Amino acid sequence: MEGGQVSSYTTSGRHTRTRMLQLIYFSIIFIIIPGIILAFFLISALLPGRAADRDAKFSGRAGFWAGLVIFAVYAVSAIAKVTTPDFSAERLPSFNWLGLIIGAIAGFVLLFFVEFALPSRGIGVLTLILCAASTIGLFSYLFNSGIRNFTMYLALGALFGVLTNVIVNPSLARGILSSSRVTSPDLV
């Protein structure tokens, strides 16, 4: 190697590394993060089936549908400002401390609220919040709105908060999951 030439091995290794980083980035940004947001949506759909009595189940289902109505209102009002989905892996999102901290706190507290709300009709409010937040979040995330970075770190923070709660207090999560049988969502 003379005169500042770069070996083909170094160039090839750098290219491979760049492609690998792009693949990892793409997987996180367009599979894992939307998967987390979709998981919260599925939780909102399945939660009414976990309720203790008929009225609470009905309240939970109504909350789920009310969350979808809120999403529809948001989507119709935001449609003019929406850009097409951006599936390029060139731009890295900026880190958002606020979204991460709010998500972690909300995720940690969420299990306590679920335990409290399951035996009551408060589950309707919970499913409304989960359904509206997850659908609006996914819409904003995929269609590159101004809150994309915040939404991504909010979802990651919420998952981290929920999992941290399960680590610290596994009996709470076990109690929520075993309080009644799991049924498929009856969303009528």
pLDDT in tens, 104-135: 999 899 878 877 776 666 778 888 888 988 89
Specify whether the CB–CB gap between 182 and 46 falls below 8 A: yes
Q: For residue 67, count other CB atoms closer than 10 A to its CB.
A: 25
Specify whether the CB–CB gap between 158 and 103 falls below 8 A: yes
Round to whole Å and give the CA distance between 115 and 50: 11
Residues 6+ apart with CB under 8 A from 151: 37, 99, 137, 140, 141
State both tokens at 118. 């399951």
Q: For the chain, what are the domain ranges? A: 8-177
**Residue 182 amino acid letter:** V
Task: Identify which of 112, 137, 126, 118 has the alpha carbon closest to the alpha carbon of residue 34.
Answer: 137
Specify whether the CB–CB gap between 104 and 164 falls below 8 A: yes
What confidence score (pLDDT) does residue 101 get?
94
Q: 10-residue block means of pLDDT along the chain (188 residues)? A: 52 77 84 88 89 83 95 87 68 79 90 74 81 87 74 79 86 61 42
State both tokens at 119. 């035996």
Residue with tokens 């599979």: 31
What confidence score (pLDDT) does residue 130 get?
85
pTM for the model stands at 0.70
Round to whole Å and give the CA distance between 122 and 33: 28
